[in-house]
Amino acid sequence: MRNIANQAYLNNDLPLMAKALWKLCQRGVASTGVTDDCAALLDVAIIQGDELAQARAHLGQYFITGNRDDYARAMAALPASDASYRAIFDISVDSCLNSTQTTEWLALQCYLSGKAAFNEPALQKALVLFEQFDARHNMADSYFLLAKLKYEQGQPDTAADYASRAALLLSLLGEAARAEQVRAWRRDTVHAQ
């Protein structure tokens, strides 16, 4: 995604750049905790005059930093009639599992609620939705969380399978260091039994 964002910048393709930065911003929310991509998305959104992308960027920053100013800015920019985006603030496993929407926000909501509650159905739903939106970094993070959950449930074979899927996907995404961390966890935790 970073290469796509960089190439889009060189080609002055701001819509493509915004799309790539949104994926990277989601990645920051889901796992890295780094706000740089959300901040870059905000820059592009302001240049484009795209209020929804501005709201997404502010929401991403809010979820990473907890800064209430970002929350207020996001709420101000969101369309009042668009419940799908407002629903992201109702981060509960039940709201994830009971929703019939298929949005990127719901995927993120399910991921965050599943991560917080260590809830397998929410993480599985997030994984399916991330797959639909080709959010492969988030898929890898979901696989790794599912691996940890399965290990805690005493299912080491399933845990190893999920960890292997996460590591493979991270490798394919060029995230060699993260892939090795997952492999090390699998080796030192799952296979150490």
**DSSP classification of residue 153:** T
Judge whether 151 lies within some domain.
no
Q: Report pLDDT digits (tens) over 15-69.
A: 999 989 988 888 887 777 778 999 999 999 999 988 888 888 888 888 888 777 8
Judge whether 5 lies within some domain.
yes
Judge whether 40 lies within some domain.
yes
Domain CATH code at residue 33? 1.25.40
Q: Which two three-digit tokens encode residue 78?
A: 């969101």
Measured at the alpha carbon of residue 20, what is the angle toward residues 146 and 108, in degrees to the nearest 5? 35
Instruction: Tell me which residue range forms the domain holding 65.
Output: 1-78
Judge whether 65 lies within some domain.
yes
| pLDDT confidence of residue 126 | 93
Judge whether 28 lies within some domain.
yes
Residue 24 vs residue 75, higher pLDDT: 24
Judge whether 66 lies within some domain.
yes
Q: Report pLDDT digits (tens) over 135-189.
A: 888 899 899 999 999 999 999 999 999 999 999 999 998 889 889 999 999 999 9
Q: Which helix (H) or strand (E) holds 149?
A: helix 136-152
Burial grade of 13 (CB within 10 A; 0-12, 13-18, 19 or more): middle
Residues 6+ apart with CB under 8 A from 106: 84, 87, 88, 96, 99, 129
Q: What is the total count of domains within the chain?
A: 1
Judge whether 72 lies within some domain.
yes
Judge whether 109 lies within some domain.
no
Residue 173: alpha-carbon gap to chain centroid: 15
